[in-house]
Amino acid sequence: MGYLDAGGGRRAPASPVYLDHAATTPMLPEAIEAMTEELAELGNPSSLHNAGRRARRVVEESREQIAAAYGARPSEVIFTSGGTEADNLAVKGLFWARRAADPARRRVLTAPIEHHAVLDSVGWLQHHEGAEVGRPALDDVGKIGPEALREAIETDPGAVALVSIMWANNEVGTIQPITELTGVAREYRIPFHSDAVQAAGQLPVSLADSGAAALTVTAHKIGGPVGAGALLLARGTDLVPVLHGGGQERDVRSGTLDAPAIRAFAVAVEIATARRADETKRVAGLRDDLIAQVLAAVPDAARPACALVAAPTRSPFRICFCRPAGAGVAWKTPHPAVNVAVSTAAAPSAARARAGNAASPATRASPARLANPARPADRERFSANSSTGFPLMAFFLTELE
């Protein structure tokens, strides 16, 4: 497969190359069909008349499908407007509930590699609610071992409100040892939240088996629509709501349920789950092929012009490269002639950069940071988002010193 010409020159592929499935995926035709069908129907799932009951049935069947795919009970699925809302609900809701039970609990243990939805929720708690932040040590590919978490808890176990550590990283693809981490948190009876947005549908994700108190999932990373997600909340976990209103979701989340999007979400989850094993094998092969070709194609062969950053346990759907400064690789900005969608950061960081806020916490959580935690994070970084045949793959290049 010719992703790049052999000598390092790039060619424009016949079809557009899209390698940004970590930002969002195309909707599956089956999900579009289900959503379109449901959009034509009338009824608020909370209404007691026939139209409402029909919509309620759709929501509850979808809830059962999603619960079954993610190792949860139906009652443990709290529908939200996506991953961001679910992360906010988990982080703030668990914090408030734990602090209400014991005012000494004000520490949130989390990592700088988290998505903004977690990073900024924690930051908000810090600035407005007196939260303190503890950071378990990361290794050089962004992994947190159980001993690192234990050490962070041991600083002051009685002060920890919650732990929030993502399941799989959206940029580097590092997979955290979630069951080992939840095991440590459970010893101290500390609720553990994991943002599983980049893992669900791609890796086996089960609320019950993970031992987590809460998991965040979303639809648009697995062929579902943008604007539908869920917090999987283990039974018996106390959580203070963020949104107040009709109390539609067990009083934990208010807002009229979006039956069409929820239906499409369930369809996408079912298909992703059914195809996961085959897709993992197929995409891992494509990933390895692409890595080999990129490394072979980099012209400055005398120097380590293109260093692969890879954890031994990483998602098959992610690639991350680091480019040493001055290595002579001409990858800088997207060029329309290459027909490859390219951005300079993960989607939220790119959005912030556009808004003139590039020096945000996300910048500190960049792959450059992961590859070289001791170095400043102000180096060039690049993410090529590419194509047909590479579902759910993100591709980053970061300049190193």
Ligand X SMILES: Cc1ncc(COP(=O)(O)O)c(C=O)c1O
Q: Which residues bind ligand X (CB under 6 A)?
A: 82-84, 87, 115, 117, 166, 170, 195, 197-198, 218, 220, 229, 347
Q: How far is the CB of 262 from ligand X (least distance, A)?
A: 14
Query: 78 by DSSP, 3-state: which?
Result: strand
HSE at residue 274, side-chain half, CA atoms within 13 A, is 7
We find the least distance from the C-beta atom of residue 187 to ligand X, in angstroms, to be 26
Q: Nearer to ligand X by C-beta: 198 or 366?
A: 198
Could you tell me the two tokens for 331? 């990858």
Burial class of 60 by CB neighbour count within 10 A (0 to 12, 13 to 18, 19+): middle
* C-beta closer to ligand X: residue 53 or 135: 135
Phi, psi dihedrals of residue 79, rounded to the nearest 5°: -70, 140
Specify whether the CB–CB gap between 328 and 311 falls below 8 A: no
Give the nearest distance from C-beta 346 to ligand X in angstroms: 7
Cβ-based nearer residue to ligand X, 117 or 259: 117
Strand partners, 382: 397
Which CB atom, from 38 or from 87, has the smaller least distance to ligand X?
A: 87
Q: Which is nearer to ligand X, 176 or 198 (CB)?
A: 198
On whether the CB atoms of residues 35 and 260 are closer than 8 A, the answer is yes
Among 200, 205, 251, which Cα is nearest to 82's? 200
Phi-psi region of 326 (alpha: psi -120 to 50; beta: other; left: phi over 0): left
Minimum Å gap between C-beta 87 and ligand X is 6
Taking the complex as a whole, how short is the minimal distance between the CB of residue 49 and ligand X, in angstroms?
A: 32
Q: Where are the beta strands (DSSP E) in 177-287?
A: 192-195, 214-218, 229-233
Q: At closest approach, how far in Å is the CB of 296 from ligand X?
A: 30
Pairing assessment for the beta strands 394-400 and 192-195 based on DSSP bridges = unpaired
Give the residue with the Cβ less far from ligand X, 28 or 329. 28
In angstroms, what is the minimal distance from the CB of 311 to ligand X? 16
Pick the closest to residue 190 from 88, 84, 99 (CA basis): 99
Give the nearer residue to ligand X in terms of CB position, either 118 or 148.
118
Find the residue with minimal CB distance to ligand X.
83
Q: To the nearest whole angstrom, how small is the minimum distance from the Cβ of residue 174 to ligand X? A: 12
Exposure string for 269-302, b = 16+ CB within 10 A, e = fewer: bbbbbebbeebbeebeebbeebbebbeebbeeee
Measured from the CB atom, the residue of 229 and 391 that comes closer to ligand X is 229
How far apart are alpha carbons 353 and 133 in whole angstroms?
25
